[in-house]
Amino acid sequence: MAMDKPADNAVDVVLGGEATDTVPLRQKRSIYRDAVRRFARNRLAVVGLILVLILTTLALFADDGIFAFFLGREPQPLLAHTPYDKIFYGPAGAFPSLDYWMGTDLNGRDLFSRIIFGARISLSIGFLAQLIALGIGLPLGGIAGWKGGKIDFFVMRLVDVMSAMPTLLLAFLIMARLGAGYWNVMLAIAITSWLEICRLTRAQFLMLREKEFIEASRSIGVGTLRIFRLHLLPNALAPIIVSVTLGIPKAIFTEASLSFLGVGINPPMPSWGQMLGRDGIANMTFYWHLALFPALMIAFTMLGFTLMGDGLRDALDPRMLKDK
Amino acid sequence: MGRFILMRLVGLVFVLLVLSMMTFGLMHGVPGGPWHYGQRPFSEDQIAALKTRYGLDRPLWEQYVTWLSGVVRFDFGKSFDHPDETVMGLVGRTWPVTLHLGLMALAVAFGIGIPLGIIAALKQNTWVDYLATLLSVLGFVTPHFVWGIVFILVFALALNWLPTGGWEGPRYWILPVTAYALAPIATIARYTRASVVDAIRADYVRTARAKGLGERSVIFRHVMRNAMIPMLTVFGPIIPDMITGSIFIEAIFRIPGLGKFWVTSTFERDYPMIIGLTMLWAVLIAVTYLITDIFYVMVDPRVHYN
């Protein structure tokens, strides 16, 4: 309610006929609507968003699994040409052609279909792992930075202990304990990647809590939760969003590394990293398509999320309101 | 401040203790053992004999105490995978190479990444910014093992300018250092840009300009100093990450470094090596964060630790 008062006053002034053209009636807009406008004006960000949307479409509609689930039948390939594990006896290692758009792999499976299903695996792992990481890192880092003292000490010691563990080695140990597989990879990545979000949130809150506007809010009796929602989160959000958005390709990269080294996604389930690591790099000089297409897909995915993250960062920054 | 540093060092001892217990439990909880995955598998009796010899048949807490009493004397035991070498000896032999590679890559990464990020931020949303962003994105989006392979194909095999691998002199350094530095260049440039863009819109920057400070002074004394807080958080961990090596770079360029052991020690269930490396990493990362936190106070007088 308090927020509405200036606008009400402005209307009164206008209706009263005084200084009609000196008191602008500013349309009420949320920072998010402004953010959307700024995002749309940023060409690179839009390119990133389009890439992400294309990849998400590939991931969602590789087969009609979503509909098939409700219709209660086996999923049929939709954007992909064949199921990812269908073997064509004969054209193993075939180069790209009209029949096989990206050629076939050394087991005679259609590479195009495997690439598309790979999008589903890579994107879902990247996204969900970061979501779990955010769910752990943001609350912990926020509380630590805001409260300080003992809570900060204990949270940061937990972060210390966890981050004192070498990432790849920890992921390896977890994978060796749990066994290779889709959900285990996701879990291993989430466990190893919430620390940066936590540390970043804490650093932001630590800096923000010293700011005058926070002190002012507290002095007029604004509740902690409201300060969190209205002041701390919007001000701390930009670097966290950059971190999460960049964390998705990082998670995809970790998944690729694990699969590359044979403890990630189990074949025949496809993942770009695994395709690159198993057949791609070893045969790069001759079967170039086996390395090129997975590498390109990893690159496009990272490009998309990176550009989008940068655009989001610029668009979401409430301080840009001043520039209008 | 002195008390803060002391507290953190006490904290480090605690972290190392907790971490070593965690790692000890985790690595012994992983199925299989050091003698299960050889070329010629041992018989059950032989494995039992080996376990007795290396003390693996004792209760876990007893093994831990034995290990800990060694560590106090800087004795981390012998590597199971390289039985003629101690963990300390193995790390001492291979780390200098990795350290050399990592430090060179770091110098390149910071030397290019920070100016790139600052320029991009100052020329925000112009073609300069887009070009810098695209350049840094290119480094970021392609895994360094792909860069490594591409570099070998182009500069070593096709053009024959540089050797394909090995570690014998400056000519051998160029390709791996470049391949290794591309990702951190991108990360550094990106966060530098983000932080500088943040700082550049602040009121004190407008004030600094309004009171007639030169552009150089505004950027370095006001913008950069304030941009450094979020930058430090991200840049600190890059350093231990880079100086401990990468299995991909070292395998592709045949560099006799430490990098591969982070992965092979787990494959081989080389327990002394796993926990030794974990301790090494833990000390490095703890020191990095301590220095980062000290930097916070130096850069920003508003930050205090009480």
Residue B132, classed as helix, strand or coil, is helix
Whether B290 has a pLDDT exceeding 50, the answer reads yes
Q: Is the previous residue joined to B256 through a cis bond, with omega within 30 degrees of 0?
A: no
Q: How much is the ipTM here? A: 0.75
**How far apart (Å, rounded) are the C-alpha atoms in residues B286 and B205?**
34
What is the rounded average pLDDT of the residues B152-166? 79
* Both tokens assigned to A253: 């990269």
Count other C-beta atoms under 10 Å from residue A27's C-beta: 7
Reference A247, options A115, A172, A136, A146; nearest CA is A136
In the predicted model, residues of chain A with pLDDT beneath 70 are 1-32, 65, 68, 86-90, 92, 317-324
pLDDT, residue B183, reads 86
Residue B177, classed as helix, strand or coil, is helix
> Among A61-70, B97-106, B221-230, which range has the highest average pLDDT?
B97-106
Reference A38, options A230, A324, A303; nearest CA is A324
Partners of B86 in the β-ladder: B78
Of B141, B296, B303, the CB nearest to A302: B141
Q: Cα-Cα-Cα-Cα dihedral of A249, A255, A260, A266, to 10°?
A: -140
pLDDT, residue A24, reads 55
Q: Which of B266, B299, B303 to mutate to test the interface with A (most CBs of A within 10 A)?
A: B266
Rg (CA), chain B: 24
Reference B140, options B211, B230, B238, B225; nearest CA is B238
What is the rounded average pLDDT of the residues B249-276? 83
**Can you say how many angstroms the Cα of residue B178 is from the centroid of all Cα atoms in its chain?**
16
What is the rounded average pLDDT of the residues B275-291? 86
* Cβ–Cβ below 8 Å for A246 and B142: no
Residue recorded with tokens 């990095």: B288
Count other C-beta atoms under 10 Å from residue B72's C-beta: 7
pLDDT, residue A131, reads 92
Of B14, B141, B285, the CB nearest to A163: B285
**How far apart (Å, rounded) are the C-alpha atoms in residues B184 and B241?**
10
**How far apart (Å, rounded) are the C-alpha atoms in residues A266 and A254?**
15
Q: How many CB pairs under 8 A join A and B?
A: 151
Q: Is A283 on the interface with B (CB under 8 A)?
A: no
Q: Which amino acid is at B24?
A: F
Q: Which of A42, A51, A173, A298 to mutate to test the interface with B (most CBs of B within 10 A)?
A: A173
* Cβ–Cβ below 8 Å for A291 and B302: no
Cα distances (Å, whole numbers) of residue B244 to A63, B221, B247, B274: 42, 34, 10, 14
Tens digits of per-residue pLDDT, A206-264? 888 888 888 888 888 888 888 888 888 877 777 787 788 778 888 888 888 888 887 87
**How far apart (Å, rounded) are the C-alpha atoms in residues B6 and A242?**
34
Please name the residue of chain A whose CA is at the shortest distance from the CA of residue B127: A44
| 214-233 of A, contacting B, C-beta below 8 A | none
Q: Quick one: DSSP state of residue A3?
A: G
- How many alpha carbons fall within 13 Å on the CB side of residue A117? 28
pLDDT, residue A11, reads 43
What is the rounded average pLDDT of the residues B271-295? 86
Q: Quick one: DSSP state of residue B214?
A: -
Q: Which residue has the higher pLDDT, A22 or B54?
A: B54
Q: Is A160 on the interface with B (CB under 8 A)?
A: yes
Of A157, A164, A242, the CB nearest to B281: A164
Of A176, A177, A306, the CB nearest to B140: A306
Percent of chain B's residues with pLDDT above 70: 97
* Both tokens assigned to A154: 């204990």
Q: Quick one: DSSP state of residue A231?
A: I
Residues composing chain A: 324
What is the rounded average pLDDT of the residues B122-149? 79
